[in-house]
């Protein structure tokens, strides 16, 4: 059981993008240290592995929502976005890509070192890549809600076009590590997953009202009357974002 913020185990992610005429293919794999393993050795488990197809024109996920909420006084902004990409069954992939995914190996020692440019995943040297991103994320539950706050450190490697082969000596451009902070609900993923393979004429079970997507806070000291405004959950989310922004700005001020 996690009782302190320092007890939260990071999630290690690797995202690979491959060229394809029908639209680039993306493989995303997540790992996390197993809880209560009962010995001194590090034990990691694979949380998920997923293939998706990106837009043919721009090689990116499809943008469904792109809105910025800007504070005109500070110039800071929260970006609200929804992206979608087509899920791809592994049975429909070229054998080379399937082998690439099956041969990936997580390196616990490299992950624990947290070295600036070290790879914590071992790659098949015969696969052709367009880009590769490593990400280390810490996920926290925001009090009195089911919203998650995710703090991530990520680094991109982009391979030269047409010669993006590790085996052929195509060296990637290594970008500086970056940090990101996002807030989301895992329930959103659950609801949107119903759309992945929705048959013609069928519909999802989720409602498209504000209360479904931005529910009221719950927990000790939280009071939501029966006649509360439907948008109260949205207002509470905005309040959370403002508090988070204040904390981030305070941390930045201390580092200056």
- DSSP letters of 32-44? EEPS--SSSS--E
* Cα separation, 6 vs 18, whole angstroms: 36
pTM of the model: 0.85
pLDDT at residue number 118? 82
- Residues pairing with 128 in the sheet: 165
Q: Where are the domains of the chain?
A: 5-202, 207-256
* Cα separation, 10 vs 197, whole angstroms: 31
More confident residue, 159 or 226: 159
For residue 248, how many other CB atoms are within 10 A of its CB?
A: 13
Average pLDDT, whole number, for the chain? 85
Question: What would the mean pLDDT of 157-179 be, rounded to a whole number?
Answer: 74
pLDDT in tens, 41-70: 668 899 999 999 999 999 899 999 899 988
Give yes or no for residue 202 having a pLDDT over 80.
yes
Beta strands in the chain (DSSP E): 11-18, 25-33, 44-53, 62-70, 77-84, 86-87, 105-106, 121-122, 131-141, 147-158, 173-174, 178-185
In the block, tokens 């060296």 appear at 171
């Amino acid at each position: 059981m996690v009782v302190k913020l320092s007890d939260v185990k990071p999630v290690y992610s690797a995202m690979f993008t491959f060229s394809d005429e029908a639209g680039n293919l993306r493989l995303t794999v997540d790992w996390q240290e197993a809880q209560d393993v009962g010995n001194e050795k590090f034990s990691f488990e694979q949380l998920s592995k997923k293939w998706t197809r990106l837009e043919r024109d721009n090689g990116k996920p499809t943008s469904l929502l792109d809105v910025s909420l800007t504070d005109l006084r500070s110039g800071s902004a929260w970006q609200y976005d929804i992206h979608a990409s087509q899920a791809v069954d592994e049975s429909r992939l070229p054998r080379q890509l399937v082998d690439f995914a099956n041969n990936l190996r997580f390196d616990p020692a490299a992950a624990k070192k947290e070295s600036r440019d070290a790879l914590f995943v071992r790659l098949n040297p015969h696969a052709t890549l367009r880009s590769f991103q490593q990400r280390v994320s810490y996920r926290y539950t925001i009090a009195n809600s089911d919203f998650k706050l995710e703090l991530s450190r990520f680094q991109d490697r982009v391979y030269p076009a047409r010669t993006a082969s590790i085996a052929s000596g195509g060296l990637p451009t290594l970008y500086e590590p970056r940090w990101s902070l996002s807030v989301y609900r895992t329930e959103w993923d659950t609801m949107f997953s119903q759309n992945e393979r929705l048959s013609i004429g069928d519909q999802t079970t989720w409602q498209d009202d504000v209360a479904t997507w931005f529910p009221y806070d719950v927990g000790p000291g939280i009071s939501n009357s029966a006649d509360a405004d439907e948008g109260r959950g949205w207002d509470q989310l905005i309040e959370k974002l403002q508090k988070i922004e204040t904390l981030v700005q305070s941390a930045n001020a201390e580092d200056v």
